[in-house]
Amino acid sequence: MSLAGTRAVPLLASRPVDRRRFVLLMAAGVLGAAVGRGTAELVEDPPSRSGRQLRPAAATPTQPPGTVPPPLGVVDRLPGEGSRLALTVDDGVSSDVVAAFTDLAADTGLRLTFFPNGCYRSWTDNAPALRPLVESGQVALGNHTWSHPDLRALDDAAVADEIETNRRFLADTFGAGETPFFRPPFGSHDGRVDRIAADCGHPTVAMWNGTLGDDRVLTPGELMASARRWFAAQSITIGHANHATVTTVFNELRALIDERALETVTLADVWAAPH
Ligand SMILES: [Zn+2]
């Protein structure tokens, strides 16, 4: 389908803060700070593996989960200290792999954050099974664009179109409320992309500091080596619902989580706007 021309209002830097963003920023308690800093300070943050702690609204260990507002800017690990692990699963090239992750969550209570690309039919195929998990909060959703382009290569209107089309898809398919989370395809983003995502209602750019490495086809051994390297307390780890390998090691992944006494959480368990 053509993505051109589906957005009536161009997203320009000078455009007034729109209602959705205003509400989100108010909810996040950062409107004053955002206006004071100017969005120009949403500078490019490369995909970091450093475990760097990120700025506004970083939790202290005493703050219970789910009460920290979503930060304006980039996150790549969970805030504070603890034993939480945020498993995030992207794309959805394979309907079978999305179905397997959905079954895994339903069968085990594992908490997951999906970053779907709506262009893949896997999400509509599995929507009936996923919807109750989304409604209960066991599965959270973030926006990963409609068709997974490198956003830095697109002009402002096309970036906004990719994000808006997917935002509407997630709302229509899962009945989900607004999600603050945005993950740029390939981790490719800069201050301009971040600003447009925020204008589209996603103030928080959810990067990662651990990876299963499964954006390419791995052997089960290679995938588990990645998991052993990266599954750690307060990590945001990225995986993909694209290739079947991961579905062959679900039991091993769960055993590793148990062995390390990690508690899986969704990003929305950690960062949730007050109601
Ligand atoms: Zn992706």
| Domain 76-185+207-270 CATH class label | alpha beta
- Grade residue 67 by pLDDT with cuts at 50, 70 and 90: low
Q: Which two tokens stand for residue 48?
A: 């970091």
Average pLDDT, integer, range 212-237:
96
Q: HSE, CB side, 13 Å, CA atoms: give it for residue 228.
A: 8
Could you tell me which of 186, 178, 197, 179 has the C-alpha nearest to residue 73? Answer: 197
- Grade residue 109 by pLDDT with cuts at 50, 70 and 90: very high
Percent of residues in the chain assigned helix, strand, coil, to nearest 5: 40, 15, 45
Sequence ranges of the domains in the chain? 76-185+207-270
Average pLDDT, integer, range 194-212:
97
Which residues have CB atoms below 5 A from the ion given as ligand 1? 90-91, 185
If you measure from the C-alpha of residue 237 to the centroid of ligand 1, how many angstroms do you get, rounded to a whole number? Answer: 13
pTM score of the predicted model: 0.78
What pLDDT is recorded for position 272?
81
pLDDT tens digits, one per residue of 75-90: 999 999 999 999 999 9
If you measure from the C-alpha of residue 144 to the centroid of ligand 1, how many angstroms do you get, rounded to a whole number? Answer: 7
If you measure from the C-alpha of residue 91 to the centroid of ligand 1, how many angstroms do you get, rounded to a whole number? Answer: 5
